[in-house]
Amino acid sequence: MDIARYLSIGSFMKVIRKPGFWLILALLVLITLPHYEESLKHPAFLTHATANLGLQRHAFERILYLAPIVWAGFLFSWRGGFVTSLATLACMLPRAVFISPYPMDSLFETSVVFIIGNVLTFSFASLRREREYRSQLETAHQELQKSEETYRQLFENAHDTIWLHDMEGKIIAANKSVQELTGYSEAELYTMNESDFLSNTSLNLVAQIRKKLLKKEPLEQPYELCLTKKDGTEAFVQLTSSLVLGEDGPAAFQHIARDVTEHKRMQENLRFYLSQATKAQEEERKRIAHELHDETVQALVVHARRLDALTSSDTELPEDIRLGLEGLRQEIDEIMQGVRRLSHDLRPAALDRLGLIPALDSLASDVSQFSGVTVNVSAIGSKRRFSEEVELVLFRIVQEALRNVWRHAKATRADVVVEFEKKRTRVTVSDNGKGFSLPKTVSELAREGKLGLVGMQERAQLIGASLLVRSQPGEGSSITIDLPA
């Protein structure tokens, strides 16, 4: 209540500060004084004019009361006019009821003045609102024109390629960058359909994107498309699409594209060089593994047999010498085991002869034997072989993952699961170790010294696979390689 009272008092103070309020009050006083004081006569010309119009003096004064009502409505809207009309009604009623010799006529005139005053007030208020509305519309129209002009300039001069096409694919707008990218002129573009410079694969992708946009389904953007230029060459763009709505619903599609042809070619070149370097590395590993197995191990076998011959000969050897030779024999056996293990790590023979799953079984057995970590390998679905390059990359990733398990994770168990599906193969390596906090980007992995994970991701990219790492401190880790087909 106090707040309402304060607000009403504040509003009243604002009103009385306006000069118009005092002018209306002065008009009411000036009209009311002669209305009741008979000695106060109108000027002769005014009396003569009202007589010619057939108006009595007091009837004319009642008409004059319209002036403050209308003026109040003009200054303070319809509320001010209504309040003033009530004030004039209070001024006119005593004379009409108690003084006028014709009370019925006076009451009728008073009512007419009250009604006409309010009608005029409401009419002025409506006119004012309409004028304000028209002014707002004009301002909005001007702002819209400015916005359209600004958008047009941004559209035309944007570095990115922007074009719009209707629901049937006909180009309806394209900026200069589209002309530079495709080689078509502006006139040619406006006679073309989007399908004229998209490959079949790109058209299928665009159709899926349109359906998702129309259904308001989640959409991964930007996505990549291949365009065919006017000269027949190809360009690759990263595209972001949106739906343009009209008054009757969807009207067009807008595409914002960035030319990534050079970037893509550089990536392909880098991937090719990395692939070649990896192949060369694997060939060198294979050569060294064969040399270790065929030469070094065989040489150690020969030396072991000579020692066996010495210790088992008829010649009596001193006890200390015989014990020394037996010690050497044991050391040679240990060296042979180490060389065989190193040869296997460099190039597992089972991978070339039997395939991925047997090679992973052999790897799991070796890791369990040397590290004490229990490693289980399981295959789900119909097993199939891959190309030599793909099987080798998958094996190396699993090998690196298991090496991280027994070196860093402090785990007691690890599981390798290979899932064969119709359109993809998924390999997951998980452990029950201590886990770690994942950084946000791959570059942070390198800065933190987790080069093994970086190498695994690079290898996965060589065969078109994706690598997903999951880990939390105290909850173990898992690495998943997702390979299409």
Report the candidate in 160, 361, 143, 186 with the shortest Cα–Cα distance to residue 260: 160
Residue-wise pLDDT tens digits, 212-229: 888 888 878 888 888 888
Going 271 to 275 to 276 to 281, the CA torsion angle's sign is positive
Q: Which amino acid is at 1?
A: M
Residue-wise pLDDT tens digits, 178-189: 888 888 888 888
Our CA angle for 307, 312, 316, nearest 5°, is 105
- Cβ atoms within 10 Å of 63's Cβ, excluding its own: 17
Report the candidate in 23, 112, 133 with the shortest Cα–Cα distance to residue 72: 23
Residue 425, Cβ density class (10 Å: 0-12 exposed, 13-18 middle, ≥19 buried): buried
Taking the C-alpha atoms of residue 280 and residue 282, their distance in angstroms, rounded to an integer, is: 5
**What pLDDT shows up at residue 6?**
41
**What pLDDT shows up at residue 481?**
92
**Bridge-based pairing state of the strands 374-380 and 413-420:** parallel
- Per-residue pLDDT tens listing for the chain (485 residues): 454 444 456 566 766 777 777 888 888 888 888 777 765 666 655 565 555 555 666 677 777 888 888 888 777 777 887 888 888 888 888 887 888 777 887 888 888 888 888 888 888 778 878 888 888 888 888 887 777 666 666 666 667 788 888 888 888 888 888 888 888 888 888 888 888 888 777 888 888 888 888 888 887 888 888 888 888 888 888 788 888 887 778 888 888 888 887 777 776 766 666 666 666 666 666 667 666 666 676 777 777 777 777 777 656 777 777 777 777 777 777 777 777 666 666 666 677 778 889 888 988 888 888 788 899 999 998 888 888 888 888 988 998 899 888 888 888 999 999 999 988 899 999 999 888 887 766 556 656 556 678 788 888 887 888 888 888 888 889 999 999 86
Please give the C-alpha separations between residue 38 and each of 34, 41, 231, 333, 434, in angstroms, as whole numbers. 6, 7, 102, 142, 108
Please give the C-alpha separations between residue 206 and each of 201, 223, 250, in angstroms, as whole numbers. 9, 10, 16
Is 0.75 topped by the overall pTM? no
Taking the C-alpha atoms of residue 471 and residue 477, their distance in angstroms, rounded to an integer, is: 4
